[in-house]
Amino acid sequence: MFCESSKELAHFVSEARAFTNQGKVADYIPALGKANPHDLSIAIKYPDGRYVSAGDVKKKFTLQSISKVISLALVLSDHGPDYVFDKVGMEPTGDPFNSIAKLENMVPAKPLNPMINAGALVVTHMIEGKSVDARFQRLLAFIHDLTNDYTIDYCEQTAQSEYETADLNRALSYFLKQHGQIDEPVEHLIQLYTKQCAIEMNCLQLARIAMVFAQDGKDHETGKQIISKDIARICKTFMVTCGMYNASGEFAIKIGIPAKSGVSGGIMGAVPGKFGIGIFGPALDDKGNSIAGLKLLELLSKNYSLSMF
C-alpha cells in the first residue's frame, strides 16, 4: 500500500526539506536563479483520478530536462524507433548532461542518448512542422493531451533568459550540424529547444504526465491511449538508465523507479503500473538534481518498497 494521505506525505516533505540547505539553485540560466531554494512540494496522481500532495503544489516551474522525455515520446510516435535511434543512441554516458566530450569520439557524431543535451537537441530537431512556432505548438498540444489541461504554456522570460545564455548548447548544435546530424539553422533549433525547456507547470500537472507513463501510455481517467505501450516502455527505460544523468546508477540503487530531473528542480517519477509523481525542489546537488527531491524519493521508496528491482 502506498501513501494514501496528504498528512502522511507532509511528514516526509518536512524531513526532506532540511536537505535544501545543502543545495544551490541553478543560475547558469539567470531566470532560474530567482527560485526559493527552500521550496519543496510533491504530488502523487493515481490512475483513478485521486491526488495526494504536500507543499505548495500549485507553484509553477519550468520543465527543463524533464521535457526531453516528452519530446522523445513525440518524435518516437511521429517517426518510429528505427528512424530516431539511427540518429541518437541508447547508452548512458556517465558524464554531465551538457558534456561534449563523448560526442567528439563518436563516429559518426551520434549522441549517446536522448537525455543528454546533445541527444535532446537531435530529438528536438525531429519535431515536425513548417516553422519553429508550428513545431513548438505541436509539442505543446502533445503536453495538453498528456495533462488533459489546455492552459499549459511556456514561460517567455525563462525561455529568453536561456536563449541569451545557451552558448554551450549552440556549440553542441554547431558540432552536430557540421557532422550532418541536424540540418536546420542552429538559431532555429535553439529557439525551439529553449521554449521546450521553458514549458511551465505545477507538481499536480507533472504527476499526471508521470501517471500516463506509469500506466503504459494510457490515461485511465479519460480512457485515452496517449502514447503507445511500446513508446512508454522505451521512455521509462531511458528514465532508469539516463534520467538522473551521471547519478542514474546511484538513483536506481537507492530509489529504483523510472525518473527524470530538470535543473529547475523538477523530478517526474513513474512507478510502473501504479502512479505518477511530480516533485519541485529547486535547490540542486552538484549533478543538477533536486537535492531534497532525491531525499524525499529515497524516504518514500524505503517506506513503501517502491523499487522495481
Q: Which parts of this chain interact with ligand DON (CB under 6 A)?
A: 64-65, 97-98, 117, 162, 169, 197, 245, 261-263, 288
Distance of CA 282 to the CA centre of its chain: 14
Distance CA 200, CA 195 (A): 10
Which one from 163, 193, 236, 261 is the annotated catalytic residue? 193
Q: Which residue is nearest to ligand DON (CB)?
A: 65
Which of 57, 88, 263, 271 is catalytic? The answer is 263
83 catalytic, yes or no? no
Q: Which is nearer to ligand DON, 109 or 120 (CB)?
A: 120
Can you read off the three cell numbers belonging to residue 7? Answer: 498528512
Long-range contacts at 10-15 (CB < 8 A, ≥ 24 apart): 10/54, 10/55, 12/54, 12/296, 12/299, 12/300, 12/303, 13/40, 13/41, 13/42, 13/54, 13/55, 13/296, 15/295, 15/299
Active site residue 245: yes
- Catalytic entry in 41, 65, 67, 261: 65
Q: How far is the CB of 261 from ligand DON (least distance, A)?
A: 5
Closest CB 3 distance from ligand DON, rounded Å: 26
- Catalytic residue at 193? yes
* Residue 174 annotated to the active site: no
Q: Which is nearer to ligand DON, 40 or 226 (CB)?
A: 40
Distance linking the first and last C-alpha atoms of the chain: 17
Opening angle at CA 248, ends 247 and 249, nearest 5:
95
Active site residue 65: yes
CB of 155 to ligand DON, least distance (A): 12
Q: Which is nearer to ligand DON, 10 or 186 (CB)?
A: 186
Inter-helix orientation angle 117-125/67-79, to 10°: 40
Q: Nearest distance from residue 147's CB to ligand DON, in Å?
A: 19
Half-sphere exposure of 308 (CA within 13 A, CB side): 17
The dihedrals phi and psi of 47, each to the nearest 5 degrees, come to -60, -25
**Can you tell me the distance from the alpha carbon of 259 to that of 250, in angstroms, rounded to the nearest whole number?**
12
Catalytic residue, candidates 46, 51, 163, 245: 245
Kindly tell me which of 192 and 226 has the beta carbon lying closer to ligand DON: 192
Of 45, 51, 53, 68, which is the active-site residue? 68
- The residue among 39 and 162 lying less far from ligand DON, judged by its C-beta, is 162
Nearest approach, Cβ of residue 197 and ligand DON (Å): 4
Residues designated catalytic: 65, 68, 193, 245, 263
